[in-house]
Amino acid sequence: MAKEKKGVRLEHISKIYQDPKTGKDFYAVKDTTLNIEPGSFVTLLGPSGCGKTTTLRMIAGFESPDEGEIYLGEEPINELTPNKRDTAMVFQSYALLPHYNIFDNVAYGLKLRKMDKATIEEKVTSILKLVGLEGMEGRMTNQLSGGQQQRVALARALVIEPGVLLFDEPLSNLDAKLRVSMRTEIRRIQQEAGITAIYVTHDQSEAMAISDNIIIMENGIVSQMGTPQEIYYHPNNEFVADFIGEANFLRGNATSANTVDINGNAVTLNDLGTKSVGDECTLVLRPEAALVADEGQLPCEVILSCFMGSYQNYHVMVGDTLVKITDFNPKNKKIYEVGDKAFVKFEADSVHVI
């Protein structure tokens, strides 16, 4: 479907704004270098104000970088206006033309390109089938549900066959159930079209569900880029570990090549990564990777025990540290009550050291 799969390369990109209150300059995006492979689905993820939308808008051409260069394929595009770039944007607000029906909304970009009527008919019909709106060409956009409007916006972006498709929080106006089904649809359509996609969201589960790679941003800087599995199991730092999923942080000191002392308890791990004997270590332990048990590595006291149906939710204290534990399928298991003394138990390879 796409004419050519194009990658996107950002080389030392920065964007500087002025704080309206203080008048001082600040970096919305600072010295960012990224390489997005052709045909991949990459998500920019992070809290509000982290620079993800600014980065997307610079790729689209709605903002200009103050430093660095952006490449689409091998072409530098800093000087190109948005309509001259081989990109298309799907907005949060859909930005549909209310006085046009579905067909004319989708055909709009093709008409601007002076395509003949037969080609437009063929392309629009094909793309509406891809997004599941065939047979609805004559329907006005104000008669559509939010999910249908989002599909029209997606079709309108795809029909011009851009090298790169950009998404600016496209599902945030939909209800939770529709968001889940639409993100699956967006991923399916992207894979069928074979197009490079760059997607902005602050929703971590959305990013995990649809991405080949996730780029985590904090304060205008890329904290980590990797597959969902890499980001989740091997976070670079506490911010990444805490932003993707839930994490417990256990602090201690390395006492040997594979042992960490936590509250006087020797915890054996597979390896300590870059840490050496004597170094302070922080262990990242996911709630589902640990159990409350009669025997284990770390003695604890149960302060919360809550049945949640598919799992038992525990909060335990290991010394002064709160540890959250999610014990799935608790039926026929021993249930620990508040005040019980027990142990936190986990596999050595379930812990990541940062």
Chain segment 130-165, per-residue pLDDT in tens: 888 999 899 998 888 888 998 899 899 889 889 999
Indicate whether 344 and 281 sit together in one domain.
yes
pLDDT tens digits along 257-291: 899 999 999 999 988 888 889 999 999 999 999 99
Indicate whether 217 and 252 sit together in one domain.
no
Work out the average pLDDT over 100-110.
92
Indicate whether 128 and 187 sit together in one domain.
yes
Structural domain count of the chain: 2
Indicate whether 208 and 274 sit together in one domain.
no
Angle at 343 (CA atoms; ends 277, 351), nearest 5 degrees: 45
Q: Which domain holds residue 188?
A: 8-238
Q: Which residue has the tokens 């009669």?
A: 294
How many C-beta atoms surround the C-beta of residue 323 within 10 A?
21
Q: What is the pLDDT of residue 179?
A: 86
Q: Which of 238, 266, 291 represents a domain boundary (last residue)? A: 238
Indicate whether 233 and 310 sit together in one domain.
no
Indicate whether 94 and 214 sit together in one domain.
yes
Least confident of 60-69, 171-180, 194-203: 171-180
Indicate whether 216 and 256 sit together in one domain.
no
Q: Are 216 and 43 in contact (CB under 8 A)?
A: no
pLDDT tens digits along 35-49: 999 999 999 999 999
Q: Are 6 and 166 in contact (CB under 8 A)?
A: no
Indicate whether 189 and 261 sit together in one domain.
no
DSSP string, 196-254: EEEEEES-HHHHHHH-SEEEEEETTEEEEEE-HHHHHHS-SSHHHHHHSS--EEEEEEE
Domain assignment of residue 51, yes or no: yes
Q: Which residue has the tokens 């599941």?
A: 132
Q: How sure is the predictor about 1, in pLDDT bands with cuts at 50, 70 and 90?
A: very low
Indicate whether 170 and 40 sit together in one domain.
yes
Indicate whether 135 and 253 sit together in one domain.
no
Q: How sure is the predictor about 3, in pLDDT bands with cuts at 50, 70 and 90?
A: low
pLDDT tens digits along 245-258: 899 999 999 999 89
Q: What is the pLDDT of residue 86?
A: 92
Domain assignment of residue 164, yes or no: yes
Q: What are phi and psi of 137, to 5 degrees?
A: -55, -35
Amino acid letter, residue 102: I
Work out the average pLDDT over 208-223.
96
Q: What is the pLDDT of residue 341?
A: 97
Domain assignment of residue 2, yes or no: no
What CATH number corresponds to the domain at position 203?
Answer: 3.40.50.300
- Among 280, 286, 274, smallest CA distance to 236 is for 274
Domain assignment of residue 125, yes or no: yes
Q: What is the pLDDT of residue 198?
A: 97
Work out the average pLDDT over 73-99.
90
Q: Which of 211, 238, 265 represents a domain boundary (last residue)? A: 238
| Those residues with Cβ within 8 angstroms of residue 59's Cβ, 6 or more apart along the chain or in another chain | 8, 10, 70, 87, 164, 166, 198
Indicate whether 137 and 179 sit together in one domain.
yes
Q: What is the pLDDT of residue 93?
A: 81
Q: Which of 194, 218, 238 represents a domain boundary (last residue)? A: 238
Q: What is the pLDDT of residue 214?
A: 98
pLDDT of 304 strictly over 80: yes
CA-only gyration radius of the chain, Å: 25
Number of H helices, E strands in the chain: 8, 20
What CATH number corresponds to the domain at position 317?
Answer: 2.40.50.140
Domain assignment of residue 353, yes or no: no
**pTM exceeds 0.75 for this model:** yes
Amino acid letter, residue 46: G
Domain assignment of residue 308, yes or no: yes
Domain assignment of residue 141, yes or no: yes
Indicate whether 174 and 232 sit together in one domain.
yes
- Among 179, 176, 175, 229, smallest CA distance to 199 is for 179
Domain assignment of residue 3, yes or no: no
